Amino acid sequence: MSAATFVRVLVLSGGERLPTLFDGATRQPIFDPLVYVTTRLRGRAANTVHQHVVAISGLLAFCSERCIQLADRVRSGRLLALHELDGLVGAIGTSKSTGKSKSQQRGLSRVTWANRLRAIRTYLSWLTTRRLQQLAHEGADYGRYQVDREQFLAEFYARLPSVKVKASSKSGLKPREREQLLAAVDPSHSANPWTRNRVRARNGLMLKLFYELGVRRGELLALCLEDFNARESRLSIVRRPDNPKDPRRRQPVVKTEERVLQLSPEAAAEFLRYVLRERAPLVRGRHGFVFVETRGGAPLSASGLDKVFSQLRTVKGLPQDLTSHTLRHDWNDRFSDTADEKRIPSGDEARLRKYLQGWRWDGSAQRYNRRHIVKRANEALLDMQAQVIGRVSPDEN
């Protein structure tokens, strides 16, 4: 993203989050992207809108570097020459990931590269459609403009990177890594990377919920006190989009379906202990969000949770790419093992997995089921091979 622009999330009176592109010099919203967001993207998830705005920022940065007056090009219909279009595609692909420290920054993945280019193409399509509507009233150059526009959009589409969707090869933790994780989150264990008791209590509970329930990070950060049923040891995952009570500009949201999850007696007791002993003195009734900063008591942000995992990855024996999503994969691996042990039919396994993970469609559950089937099939294949080898006598070699 260019230093000449920056993205700020505006929180409207009703709680809606509206990512907006600002001019770095004037500190004011840039007009065309603002109109585009409010008329075409408003109502979508804030994170989706944010990605579109970041893509538009990349387009404006490219135009600024090449001294391209985009407004004049749109007005004339001579958008980008082919060599400029090729330059834009390359520039977007070699830009850096946003929202990370310099040490963490890297080039875009192919999927992100393609998504940003699609967002830019859609934005340029909107700009030129608006110009076409003006020309229709003026009655001049409409036909020529439309032909040039369609040709440009076709050339742009032809340059979009192809993205092959692969079956997920990610998996959870190895047995030894699971042992190390559970030791590291134990407040009394020497492997625990945190020193302050309040931090240990909060982080231990968060990681226990990730491990035992397989929840998403947004679901955990959005938890409110009212979602916990202490009598029945249950935790509700509730959708609260555009929550006006959430002071965080980047509101953590529940992307999946609402559901009620059973907590283990240990996790329920730990939850209650954290809320009463550690959280209450910090918050003093100011808000209802469960997980808070240990200094000040504000609701914990996504960057605060990232810091927790960054510190956790310093523990010897844990994967260097450990994230909350790793624990979600691990939960699914363990659920598959449990389904095998209890001889749950595959159809029932998929339905149970779908509910517990909050998926709206069967494909996500089936993907994990297929991966487990592949694992079991290859284990059976290895057993067959071992039996064949065992029948071969030394004299036959």
Lowest mean pLDDT among 169-178, 288-297, 380-389: 380-389
Confidence category of residue 76, pLDDT binned at 50, 70, 90: very high
| Residue 326 confidence (pLDDT) above 80 | yes
Lowest mean pLDDT among 60-69, 244-253, 282-291, 367-376: 367-376
What is the span of the domain harbouring residue 241? 175-329
Domain end marker among 329, 350, 373: 329
Q: Tell me how many domains the chain contains.
A: 2
| Residue 166 confidence (pLDDT) above 70 | no
The predicted model gives 184-206 an average pLDDT of 94
What are 354-382's pLDDT values in tens digits?
Answer: 999 998 877 666 666 666 677 767 777 77
Which residue would you say has higher pLDDT here, 376 or 191?
A: 191
| Residue 307 confidence (pLDDT) above 80 | yes
| Residue 233 confidence (pLDDT) above 80 | yes
Confidence category of residue 241, pLDDT binned at 50, 70, 90: confident
- Whether residue 256 is contained in a domain is answered as yes
Quick one: DSSP state of residue 292? Answer: B
- Whether residue 257 is contained in a domain is answered as yes
> Does one domain contain both 24 and 149?
yes
Predicted local distance difference test score (pLDDT) of residue 96:
63
Predicted local distance difference test score (pLDDT) of residue 101:
40
- Whether residue 118 is contained in a domain is answered as yes
Cβ contact 53:35 at 8 Å: no
> Does one domain contain both 34 and 139?
yes
> Does one domain contain both 192 and 309?
yes
Predicted local distance difference test score (pLDDT) of residue 216:
95
> Does one domain contain both 49 and 124?
yes
The predicted model gives 312-322 an average pLDDT of 94
Confidence category of residue 12, pLDDT binned at 50, 70, 90: confident
Predicted local distance difference test score (pLDDT) of residue 103:
37
Quick one: DSSP state of residue 216? Answer: -
What are 342-355's pLDDT values in tens digits?
Answer: 888 888 888 899 99
- Whether residue 378 is contained in a domain is answered as no
CATH at 312: 1.10.443.10
335: tokens are 């659920």
Predicted local distance difference test score (pLDDT) of residue 378:
74
Predicted local distance difference test score (pLDDT) of residue 162:
87
> Does one domain contain both 181 and 115?
no
Predicted local distance difference test score (pLDDT) of residue 141:
85
Predicted local distance difference test score (pLDDT) of residue 131:
93
CA 54 → CA 58, 97, 107, distances in Å?
A: 6, 10, 15
> Does one domain contain both 141 and 246?
no
> Does one domain contain both 140 and 196?
no
- Would residue 119 be called left, alpha or beta, if left means φ above 0 and alpha means ψ between -120 and 50 degrees? alpha
- Whether residue 370 is contained in a domain is answered as no
Cβ contact 80:152 at 8 Å: yes
Predicted local distance difference test score (pLDDT) of residue 165:
56
> Does one domain contain both 51 and 115?
yes
CA 60 → CA 70, 93, 139, 321, 381, distances in Å?
A: 8, 15, 30, 33, 55
> Does one domain contain both 143 and 226?
no
Q: Which residues contact 70 (CB under 8 A, 6 or more apart)?
A: 59, 60, 63
Question: How much of the chain exceeds pLDDT 90, in percent?
Answer: 67
> Does one domain contain both 151 and 63?
yes
Domain end marker among 300, 329, 358: 329
Element (H, E) at 311: helix 302-312
Cβ contact 112:93 at 8 Å: no
DSSP three-state, residue 262: strand
- Whether residue 337 is contained in a domain is answered as no
Confidence category of residue 1, pLDDT binned at 50, 70, 90: very low
Predicted local distance difference test score (pLDDT) of residue 2:
46
The predicted model gives 115-133 an average pLDDT of 95
Residue 139 CA to residue 143 CA, distance in Å, equals 10
What are 201-227's pLDDT values in tens digits?
Answer: 999 999 999 999 999 999 999 999 999
| Residue 143 confidence (pLDDT) above 70 | yes
> Does one domain contain both 122 and 183?
no
- Whether residue 209 is contained in a domain is answered as yes
Confidence category of residue 231, pLDDT binned at 50, 70, 90: very high
Predicted local distance difference test score (pLDDT) of residue 360:
82
| Residue 100 confidence (pLDDT) above 60 | no
Confidence category of residue 283, pLDDT binned at 50, 70, 90: very high
Residue 298, classified by CB atoms within 10 Å of its CB into exposed (0-12), middle (13-18) or buried (19+), is: middle
184: tokens are 């590291």
Cβ contact 330:173 at 8 Å: yes
- Whether residue 395 is contained in a domain is answered as no
- Average pLDDT of the chain, as a whole number: 88
Cβ contact 278:202 at 8 Å: yes
Domain end marker among 158, 193, 228: 158
> Does one domain contain both 301 and 204?
yes
